[in-house]
Structures are given as structure tokens and as C-alpha cells.
């Protein structure tokens, strides 16, 4: 039988992510609050809460992830922007734009295993690549998907990116994006 180990009563519909060391989890609430909890004392209050300023009134958070090095928290939205937040201060480091996203089709994003880059799908089928350090758009990989490239994930051990849409899966191998 499955036995759960804890319970939190939460208002709203939270987004959740676990840090790479498995010590902390973050809840994203009401598209404006990040609450960080220690797994050992999660039944107490969060050890820190950050308020992220809303850029647009109807903007909603659709996903949340820690970077592999744990230094950033990525927030995807129902608009064409992704936020990179400092995990320790709650400061918005960068707002990534250029990709196409809308309320009807949520687009996922992911970090490269070394935390250096952020990859995002787009409704036009392209895959966008930004520097996680400075937020600069590095490349927009050509559209090979027949539909929106909605789902992206990196193999954490091998530098292989998988992207998919309705009935297609592509595997991408790295090359020097800075030369494009």
C-alpha cells in the first residue's frame, strides 16, 4: 500500500518543483508568489516567500523548474515570456522573449544539464535558446515540427534534447550555438 508522508493545505492550484539536491521544494501560487520549503520542516511555514511582480494583468504561470545547479527558478507562462528568478533572493534575473505561446497551447521550457542555456518550444515549431547567465537570445532553431513544439526535455547525462508535438519526436545533438 502507498503511504503518504505529509500534507499541506494550500489555497489555489500550486505549481511545484524540487531542487536538484532534493532538500527544498518551491510552490508557485497565484502567478505571483514563490514559497520555498525545506522537506525536513515542510509542515511549518515556508522558510522564504518571494513576490514576483506581474508584468501583465492576465499573465498566468504554467510551469516551474529549478535549474540543474539550483541557482535559478524558471517560470513559464501563458504568454510569450519566461522568467528566470534567483533562487536565493527572488529577484527576476531575466525575462526571456521571442518564442510564441498563448493561452490555448502551453509551451514548456527546460535548462541544459550544465544550467548554461534555456530551451523553449514555440507555437511556430521553432526551438528558442537563451543564455541563462545574461538572458540573451542565442538562437532560434529552425522549425521542423508540423505543429507547436510544446514539450522539451534534456537527457541529464548526455547532451541530447528531445522535442515533441502531437505525433513527432525529434532528438537534437549539440553544436556551437554561439557561431550562428
As a residue count, the chain comes to: 180
The structural domains of the chain, with segments of one domain joined by +, span 59-179
User: Under a CB-based contact definition with an 8 Å cutoff, are residues 30 and 20 in contact?
Assistant: no
pLDDT digits (tens, 9 = 90+) for 89-129: 999 999 998 766 666 557 789 999 999 999 988 877 788 89
Cell numbers at 178, concatenated:
554561439
User: Under a CB-based contact definition with an 8 Å cutoff, are residues 172 and 161 in contact?
Assistant: yes
- Determine phi and psi for 81, rounding to 5 degrees: -150, 150
Say whether pLDDT at 171 is over 90.
no
pLDDT for res 101: 66
Question: Taking the CB of residue 106, how many other CB atoms lie within 10 A of it?
Answer: 17
Q: Cα separations (Å) of 96 from 81, 131, 151, 178?
A: 5, 9, 17, 17
pTM of the complete model: 0.86
CATH of domain 59-179: 2.130.10.10
Q: CA 69 to CA 103: how far, in whole Å?
A: 30
Q: Which of 112, 4, 19 is nearest to 71 (CA)?
A: 19
Helical spans, DSSP H, in the chain: none
Q: What is the CA radius of gyration of the chain?
A: 17
Say whether pLDDT at 80 is over 90.
no
Sequence-distant (≥ 6) Cβ neighbours of residue 167 within 8 angstroms: none
User: Under a CB-based contact definition with an 8 Å cutoff, are residues 96 and 118 in contact?
Assistant: yes
Mean pLDDT computed over 138-147: 75
Amino acid at each position: 500500500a502507498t503511504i503518504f508522508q505529509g500534507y499541506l493545505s494550500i489555497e489555489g492550484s500550486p505549481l511545484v518543483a524540487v531542487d536538484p539536491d532534493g532538500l527544498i521544494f518551491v510552490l508557485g501560487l497565484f502567478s505571483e508568489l514563490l514559497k520555498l520549503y525545506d522537506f525536513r520542516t515542510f509542515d511549518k511555514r515556508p522558510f522564504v516567500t518571494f513576490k514576483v511582480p506581474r508584468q501583465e494583468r492576465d499573465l498566468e504561470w504554467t510551469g516551474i523548474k529549478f535549474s540543474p545547479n539550483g541557482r535559478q527558478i524558471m517560470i513559464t507562462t501563458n504568454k510569450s515570456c519566461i522568467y528566470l528568478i534567483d533562487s536565493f533572493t527572488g529577484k527576476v534575473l531575466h525575462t526571456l522573449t521571442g518564442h510564441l505561446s498563448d493561452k490555448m497551447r502551453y509551451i514548456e521550457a527546460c535548462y541544459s544539464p550544465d544550467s548554461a542555456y534555456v530551451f523553449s518550444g514555440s507555437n511556430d515549431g521553432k526551438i528558442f535558446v537563451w543564455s541563462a547567465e545574461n538572458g540573451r537570445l542565442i538562437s532560434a532553431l529552425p522549425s521542423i515540427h508540423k505543429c507547436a513544439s510544446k514539450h522539451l526535455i534534456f537527457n541529464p547525462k548526455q547532451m541530447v534534447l528531445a522535442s515533441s508535438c502531437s505525433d513527432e519526436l525529434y532528438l537534437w545533438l549539440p553544436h556551437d550555438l554561439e557561431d550562428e
